[in-house]
Amino acid sequence: MKKVSIVGSGLSGLAAAILLANEGYEVAIYEKERKIGGNFHAVQSADDQIDLSPSFFALPEVLESVFRVVGKQASDYINIIKLEKHTKVYFKDGTEFYLSDNREIMIEQLQRIDPYGAENYDDFMKEIERIYHETSSLSNELQINNWNKLISTPIRNLLLRLKPFESLSSFLRKYFENENIIELLSHSANRGGVSPKSVPAFKSAFLYPILAYSVFTVRGGNKKIPLALKKLALELGVRFYTEKEVTKIHVENNKVQGIQINHQISLESDYILLSSSKLLADDLILDAQYLQKEKSKWLVREDYQMSQFIVFLALSDHFDLELHTVLFSNDVELEAEQLANGEFASNPTVYLYNPAHSEPERYKSGDRMLILTAVPYVDGESISNRAEIAAYRHAIINKLKQHGFDVEQSIVDEKVWTPIDMRKMLADFQGKIYGGISKLFAEAYIQPPVKSEEIKGLYFTFVHTNHPLGSTDALKNGMHLATSIIEDGNREGK
């Protein structure tokens, strides 16, 4: 029986473990933290927990397929809830707008504030559907990981249909005239903090699932997703080891031999799966001769990095705040420019997550909310930075008050996470929860490889889960990796 070692317990690794164990592989997951789940964190409040992780996701059928492929029903493990109106937006001029998968709701709202957009909405949806499916083909099937593949046929021909030289801003202006709507769709597509003039039009693919397929959450919080996957994996014989960091990958004659745990114990393994970010961040994980060969195969350029400033509030009252609320900056372009220059935005866009809206029975004593803003990532703490953080917190609370949500007097508990705190929490990403953001059009299409071309038996996960499609992409990535290992194993004789 072939042995598979999976480094880290994010969604990709969990999905891969389930499919591999179902095929008869001996699978073990090694997680350096005390809990499993990768980026899925939770904050404990007085009456329940609140997700400090992706709070909603698209395409639940992908999650359900992980269970179905091994003869199980997801509904026996997890309760998925559809969100009809998933995000309420407040613009600088006082206009309010809901993001929804319901065509009638969207067109009715657009007719009031953007008649041109209402007239073009169906054409817009048709075009982003095409871009979504062709982008999925690029990222999931063709696996572009270097310039040679990027310019090869048929990839080159497919790329040209994805508007590689058109900006997201220019693309959206073909279908909409209202600046508020353009800003909203831009932020939803590129995850905020980056000027839509600086990212390619293909990012509009992110809009299609949340406008066409709906978004979902899980009763009890999305942290239950990795827990449900762990339960299924245990039933299939997968072994979990927490507080066990993989500190070395043993390689001999260009083939993996095993792993080292906590700089001490070495264990044999035929296949190893780890995140590409760990390989890039940990120079000791591989011998130098192999590490440099691996890194040289990848195009990794990050023009700048972002993290988040997060405030958790436990309130003694309930406010009329949706599950997801966005309070837009008074000047989105200035905000993007300041972040790109490593500065705190003078008037930030604020994102709020309030699970008490959809599950009031869990939070009977008052709202529990996470408030998030994009901030530049910083490597060190300083007095000036701490002053900026305190000022930022005050600006956020004040912005809530300006929109009619005076929460200050209702605060009974409060926690603040700076980029430094996020670095400690999300060590693999060094607190940069958005990952690298490239301004160059062509580089945006290139991803790390699924498996090593130099080392036989070494495979990589590469998905960030911090956007509505992230969790879905991670599950797809894990299933694709498992399929690759199974196919390679069949050729070698499992």
Task: Using alpha carbons, select from 131, 90, 97 the residue that is nearest to residue 114.
Answer: 97
Select from 213, 232, 250 the last residue of a domain.
213
* 285 pLDDT tier (thresholds 50, 70, 90): confident
Is the residue at 412 inside a domain?
A: yes
Are 285 and 273 in a shared domain?
yes
Domain hosting 306: range is 302-429
How far apart CA 127 and CA 45 sit, in angstroms, is 43
Pairing between β-strand 215-218 and β-strand 80-83 as defined by DSSP bridges: antiparallel
**18 pLDDT higher than 80:** yes
Q: 23-42 in b/e burial notation, b at 16+ Cβ within 10 A?
A: bebbbbbbbbbebbbbbbbb
Is the residue at 436 inside a domain?
A: no
Per the structure block, which two tokens stand in for 389?
A: 């953080």
What is the dihedral angle through the alpha carbons of 10, 12, 14, 15, rounded to the nearest 10 degrees? Answer: 160
What's the Cα-to-Cα distance from 58 to each of 1, 55, 209, rounded to whole Å?
36, 11, 6
Which residues are within 8 A (CB) of 437 and not within 5 positions of it... i.e. 6 or more apart?
A: 193, 194, 199, 302, 303, 304, 305, 306
Are 411 and 320 in a shared domain?
yes
Q: Which of 235-239, 334-338, 430-434 has the lowest mean pLDDT?
A: 430-434
Select from 192, 213, 234 the last residue of a domain.
213
What's the Cα-to-Cα distance from 260 to each of 220, 269, 378, 423, 433, rounded to whole Å?
36, 10, 31, 24, 27
Q: Are 349 and 328 in contact (CB under 8 A)?
A: yes
Q: Give the three-state DSSP class for 482.
A: helix
Per-residue confidence (pLDDT) for residue 118, from 0 to 100 = 98
Task: Using alpha carbons, select from 445, 134, 416 the residue that is nearest to residue 299.
Answer: 445
Is the residue at 443 inside a domain?
A: no
Q: Which of 36-40, 72-76, 280-284 has the lowest mean pLDDT?
A: 280-284
How far apart CA 81 and CA 217 sit, in angstroms, is 5
Are 421 and 456 in a shared domain?
no
How far apart CA 50 and CA 40 sit, in angstroms, is 11
Per-residue confidence (pLDDT) for residue 298, from 0 to 100 = 52
Most confident of 3-7, 150-154, 423-427: 3-7
* 185 pLDDT tier (thresholds 50, 70, 90): very high
What is the dihedral angle through the alpha carbons of 122, 126, 131, 136, rounded to the nearest 10 degrees? Answer: 110
Which residues are within 8 A (CB) of 6 and not within 5 positions of it... i.e. 6 or more apart?
A: 13, 16, 17, 27, 28, 29, 30, 272, 273, 274
Are 377 and 454 in a shared domain?
no
Are 58 and 170 in a shared domain?
no
**Complete edge-to-edge strand list for the sheet that includes strand 265-268:** 246-252, 255-261, 265-268
Amino acid at 340: A
For the residues of 305-365, what is the DSSP string, one character each?
A: -EEEEEEEEEESS--S--SEEEE--S-HHHHHHHHHTT---SS--EEEE-TTTT-GGG-TT
Q: Are 316 and 12 in contact (CB under 8 A)?
A: no
Is the residue at 268 inside a domain?
A: yes
Is the residue at 326 inside a domain?
A: yes
**236 pLDDT higher than 90:** yes
* 449 pLDDT tier (thresholds 50, 70, 90): low
Per the structure block, which two tokens stand in for 412?
A: 């009974």
Total number of domains constituting the chain: 3
Are 306 and 294 in a shared domain?
no
Are 148 and 259 in a shared domain?
no
Share of the chain above pLDDT 90, in %: 41
Per-residue confidence (pLDDT) for residue 133, from 0 to 100 = 84
Q: Are 185 and 207 in contact (CB under 8 A)?
A: yes
Is the residue at 441 inside a domain?
A: no
Averaged pLDDT for residues 413-441: 58
Are 360 and 412 in a shared domain?
yes
Are 323 and 292 in a shared domain?
no
How far apart CA 142 and CA 445 sit, in angstroms, is 11
Is the residue at 154 inside a domain?
A: yes
Is the residue at 340 inside a domain?
A: yes
* 472 pLDDT tier (thresholds 50, 70, 90): confident
Are 225 and 261 in a shared domain?
yes
Are 93 and 209 in a shared domain?
yes
Task: Using alpha carbons, select from 223, 186, 207, 215 the residue that is nearest to residue 49.
Answer: 223
Residue 80's H or E segment, with its range, is strand 80-83
How far apart CA 374 and CA 311 sit, in angstroms, is 12
Share of the chain above pLDDT 70, in %: 77
Assign residue 230 the CATH number of its domain.
3.50.50.60
* 144 pLDDT tier (thresholds 50, 70, 90): very low
Select from 213, 231, 264 the last residue of a domain.
213
Q: Are 276 and 460 in contact (CB under 8 A)?
A: yes
Are 414 and 326 in a shared domain?
yes
* 248 pLDDT tier (thresholds 50, 70, 90): very high
* 430 pLDDT tier (thresholds 50, 70, 90): very low
